[in-house]
């Protein structure tokens, strides 16, 4: 239940995002963000508010720990759409968190994967990848490098 304790607090984030995921393009954009993560439910949940100052948007991640299944569900909401995306679900093993879920990209069904890695007291890495072929191949399309503020 304490898997995400490392994330509690304030962060500066360097983002690198693929401009056109699942298109064969290798054009990336880079932009900054900041985040504040607050614990809830005695560590069984947390909320992250993230601001993208150069993009004029923000987002929210809600993470909930399922005690029976011993896994996390991660929900993302965006100020751009005003909607909550389907969750990715998974757990940490040996300091690495992997989370998977069904989603859609430009109307087509995909699988989404979030990976948390390289976790230290003052830094962490998050990656998002999509698979359009039933998890045979993955394309990483967003990388966030977290540094404690």
Q: What is the CATH number of the domain that holds 16?
A: 2.40.128.20
pLDDT > 90? residue 18: yes
Measured between alpha carbons, how far is 112 from 101 in angstroms, rounded to an integer? Answer: 5
Task: Kindly report, residue by residue over 126-143, the tens digit of the pLDDT.
Answer: 999 999 999 999 999 999
What's the whole-number mean pLDDT along residues 84-102? 96
How many domains does the chain contain in total?
1
- Domain range for 32 is 5-148
Evaluate if residue 1 carries a pLDDT over 90.
no
Q: Which residues pair with 129 in a beta bridge?
A: 113, 140
Res. 98 pLDDT band, cuts 50 70 90:
very high
The DSSP output letter for 20 is S
């Amino acid at each position: 239940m304490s898997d995400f304790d490392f994330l509690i607090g304030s962060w500066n984030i360097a983002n690198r995002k693929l401009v056109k995921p699942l298109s064969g393009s290798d054009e990336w954009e880079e932009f900054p963000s900041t985040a504040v993560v607050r614990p809830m439910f005695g560590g069984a949940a947390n909320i992250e508010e993230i601001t993208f100052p150069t993009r004029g948007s923000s987002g929210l991640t809600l993470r909930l720990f399922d005690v029976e299944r011993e896994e996390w569900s991660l929900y993302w909401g965006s100020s751009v759409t005003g909607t909550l995306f389907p969750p990715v679900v998974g757990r940490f093993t040996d300091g690495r968190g992997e989370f998977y879920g069904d989603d859609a990209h430009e109307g087509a069904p995909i699988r989404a994967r979030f990976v948390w890695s390289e976790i230290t007291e003052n830094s962490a890495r998050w990656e998002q990848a999509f698979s359009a072929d039933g998890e045979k191949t993955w394309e990483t399309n967003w990388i966030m490098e977290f540094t404690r503020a």
